[in-house]
Structure 1
Amino acid sequence: REVEKGILGHILNKAKENGVERVKAQFIPSQKNAPIENFLPSCGFQKEGDYWIFEINTSFVVPDCIKVSVE
């Protein structure tokens, strides 16, 4: 899951740099994506109704072994 956390961390940190305060995500359960069902809560997202919310008040720590480059 480190690659997924690295990509998510990059997105959340860029959102913070651009003044975003909250990120809203939706997880739609299926047989195929069941292995990542706990991914959002493990990254600090909180359940609010049908969505998962991440309050951007600190930087998301990207694992040291992951480097994200956007071209």
Structure 2
Amino acid sequence: MVRQAHHERLSRKVYSINNTIFLTYLLCIFVIFGVWMIAEIRSIIKLKKALEKDQDKIEKWFRDLFNR
């Protein structure tokens, strides 16, 4: 009886540790994914700003390219 109770406490402790490791793993994945998405969005915004700034140069380049 005592051995079974000890085994149940031990299995609950192991389950709790495994659950904590799994949740920590999920949290790390979400954090990494979130940081990656923020970096992607920032690079898209930078690209959009650069394109807006150089839009007349790009249009001129395309006109010159297709007018040949």
Q: TM-score, normalised by structure 1?
A: 0.27
Quick check: which one's strand share is greater?
Answer: 1
Quick check: which one's helix share is greater?
Answer: 2
Ranked by relative contact order (alpha carbons within 8 Å, sequence separation 6 or more), the top structure is 1
Q: TM-score, normalised by structure 2?
A: 0.28
